[in-house]
Structure 1
Amino acid sequence: MLGQGLGAIIFGYLSSRFGRKPVLWMTIALELLAGLSSALSVNIIHFSISRFLLGMATNGRYLTAFILVTESVGPKYRATLGLCFHLGWALGYCLLPGIAYLLANFRHLILVITIPEILWLVWLYWIPESPRWLMINEKWDHLEQELKRAVHMNNLLSKNDDNNDDVNVDNDGKQKNKSDNNNNNNENKRSYIWEVLKSPNLRRTTLIMYFTWFVNAFVYYGISLNIGDFGFNLFINFLIAGLLEIPATLLPMVAINYMGRRPLTAGLMYSSGLSCLAIVPLLALLADWPRVTIALIGKFFITSSFAVIYPYAAEIYPTVVRQVGLGSCSVASCLGCMLAPFVKDLSLSTGMNVVLYILSGLSIVDGVSIHFLPETRGKQIADTIAEAEQFNMRTITNTTTT
């Protein structure tokens, strides 16, 4: 988890400076090498270093690919594709307990999980660079190539124009973009998180996002890593929890374009908190199934929330610092991940009821704080910090007035 936090910072910066696709190449190569190194480790130090590097690579790859998807579509499909992205996680979650059950040796388990990643390197040849990143960094020739490719791939040319190669980024458009950004050119090249923290409204939004990501990770892994403590078989509980990830992702996929990001996320956090609270009176029961059922319901809601905050955060931050902003949120998330394994120790020393009160309280407090975030449904995402600051100022003012 520490590696994931560092990977979010390092690869977030590199992605903002050098593009999304080069970072995908780097992270997938590192992920493959670190996975093989983990399987072939000779001692615990070798293994720990390999897992640290693997954490860096996996989070860097995931966030970069997610940002690339977000920046390649318009407002209509942005949130839906962002949530579809999470279905891959759900599939892996479902497969893991079965693979672990069949392969008791951890080296074999890691090899089976790692080797198929070679397919990623083949897949990358068909992946475009982010058009928004190319535009904000004035890579006009490359941008023109990607737009032509998109037009032809999506059959946007009429039959009479099939052989016409006039799809281009015209000079007037280039000049207009250069003129609009002339005074903010240095700002557009910045890719540091402190540039966001200098802006008062963005800073406020960012701090709330940090808390939201921390709470989501802490509650999510607090339940996931301790699912066996609620009763039944560990493998079966893990499989059921994985299967729940699929409807937990599909639910917000339907609701997010009707309810909006802010009310949906807040409602899911309230529901997760109340579910954790509902387990407390069931702790004295001898039967396992009531506790397991409510715990899985709580995990359902926190999984949905976790799926929503990815596209939500990506829409809040401008293109120049989008991955850096999302990466810094991921660092806050990793802090929650690192604390979650100690939930078991806390429950042994104080009782499971204390842990559930903490998980419930954090979820409900976070639900309240989310109401102070801007609503991004149907809005064009910002490209510069100035645009994002104005957008946050308008939406926060409207929220306060309402």
Structure 2
Amino acid sequence: MSLKWLILPFFSMSMMFIGATPPFKCADGFDANATYASLPAAAQRCHPPNASAACRRWVFDRSVYESTVVTEWALVCGRKPLLSLLQSLLMLGGLLGAVAAGQLVDRFGRRPVFLPAMLLIVLMAFTSALATSYALFAACRLLSGLAMALMIGSQYVLVTELGGIDQRARYSAFTLLPFPVGTALMAALSYAVRNRRLLQLVYAVPCLALLPNIWLMPESPRWLLMRGRPTEAYDLLQLIRTPRMRRNTLVSAFVWFVVAGAYFGIAFDMTQLSRQPHLAGVLLGLLNLPCILYFPIIDRLGRRGPTAACLFLSAAAMLVIFALSVSMAFNILFAYSPEYMPTCARAVGFGVCQVALRLGATVSPFVVDLVSELQASAPSAVFGAATLLAGLATLLLPETHGAGLPDSVPGS
């Protein structure tokens, strides 16, 4: 099941490369065989020479990227919002999947939700590589986001419930371990393969390794036991039933929103600012690798304190240190949040956190694109201030170190 985290960056982070915008010039009024290098250096980007009309034909610099979705469907100038829409559709699918996962996983079990979503993500991986139209590719992004959220919502709750009190943090850490490896691998593959369709086909092939889960994935014993208690309601109301649960739910959503926004925002900011975006992507993955091995820290010091400390450090740091500390906070949250959610609403609660994650990830590229126009370091300042508030909010959450998983709301 952990192999899923190796593959997820191929979907969630790959737009840094398959959606990259190389230098371009307007080719209207020039020869049909004109290339980027053959046009004058002063050629306009969005308007023909000596005209105010919008450009209809572009040529791109192919020295770094042979093809991307930008070059394939000319997503520049007035069509640039269509590029942003592709990332937004992935997050929209994630929002829908996170909402659905909370209800489906608690009602039908962890395994019956994970396996169909797994098959969908495999199908979308190959369909994306073969897509010849923008509309089909956009639909694949939406369904990929939906499948990713369903897989995360079901599998991570299962991992939490399979581990005992002393093993939960270790299980969580090793479950997430492939993600930074996948991030570095995604960037390395994009360096080796510069053609968009071929690159996505390369991304799709490892997805086939998920198929053995059809035979190997177990169901949660804790969920099977709780299924025989009809008095427990599997719905969102469990998360707001008591003042303590309301506080935990709202604080969790806020912290996940900020951490996801900061993590993805810094990731996109690093690759955009770097002259070597592929190298920056590899380094981002390698920098996150030590952050996965957090379980000795939270087994000794608890969950709440280290999470808040990482967020405070993120608020005071810039770029590399920021990426390290916010990544560690992100990883701890995956282990921490399900531990104070009751079994009768654990998947719903984790689904709320995933919704907040998707919202944060959706907002972060806009923060980078819009705020960076004011000042190059402005995005880091915005994310730093947000993580400071998130660190303070984390102190309101309960400590779960050494405690059993609550099965009902009164135990939360």
TM over 0.5: yes
CA contact (8 A) 2:372 2:378 kept: no
User: For 1:227, which of 241, 245, 270 is the aligned residue?
Assistant: 270
Deviations 1:226-260 (A, max 9, x none): 1034444111111111001110111x222010110
Q: May I ask how many residue pairs the two structures share in their alignment?
A: 322
- Name segments (4+ residues, structure 1) moved above 3 Å: 229-232
Matches of 2:298 and 2:109, distance apart in 1: 29
Offset at 1:345? 2.1
CA contact (8 A) 2:372 2:379 kept: no
TM-score, structure 2 as length reference: 0.76
CA contact (8 A) 1:35 1:51 kept: no
- Bigger relative contact order (CA 8 A; separation at least 6): 1
Matches of 2:100 and 2:124, distance apart in 1: 17
Segment drifting more, 340-349 vs 199-208: 340-349
User: For 1:256, which of 285, 292, 298 is the aligned residue?
Assistant: 298
From the two aligned structures, give the one with the greater helix fraction.
1
Matches of 2:94 and 2:219, distance apart in 1: 23
Matches of 2:129 and 2:271, distance apart in 1: 26
1:186 aligns with 231
Does residue 342 (structure 1) correspond to residue 366 (structure 2)? The answer is yes
- Structure 1 gaps of 5+ residues are 139-180, 277-294, 389-402
Matches of 2:247 and 2:238, distance apart in 1: 13
* Paired letter, 2:276: N
1:26 aligns with 116
Does residue 216 (structure 1) correspond to residue 259 (structure 2)? The answer is yes
2:95 aligns with 5
* Paired letter, 1:260: G
CA contact (8 A) 2:313 2:322 kept: yes
Offset at 1:308? 0.3
Matches within 5 A, 1:157-306: 185-187=230-232, 190-250=233-293, 252-276=294-318, 295-306=319-330
2:41 aligns with none
CA contact (8 A) 2:105 2:153 kept: no
Change (3 A) 1:231 1:25: closer
CA contact (8 A) 2:106 2:347 kept: yes
Matches within 5 A, 1:2-401: 2-138=92-228, 185-187=230-232, 190-250=233-293, 252-276=294-318, 295-388=319-412
Matches of 1:60 and 1:114, distance apart in 2: 19
TM-score, structure 1 as length reference: 0.77
Matches of 1:231 and 1:127, distance apart in 2: 41
CA contact (8 A) 1:93 1:242 kept: yes
Deviations 1:254-277 (A, max 9, x none): 20101100000000000111113x
CA contact (8 A) 1:72 1:130 kept: yes
Matches of 1:120 and 1:84, distance apart in 2: 17
2:38 aligns with none
Matches of 2:345 and 2:200, distance apart in 1: 34
- Specify the SS of the correspondent of 2:398: coil
* Paired letter, 1:253: F
Percent of aligned positions with the same letter in both sequences? 32
Offset at 1:194? 2.7
CA contact (8 A) 1:34 1:50 kept: yes
Matches of 2:215 and 2:387, distance apart in 1: 42
The Cα RMSD (Å) is 1.4
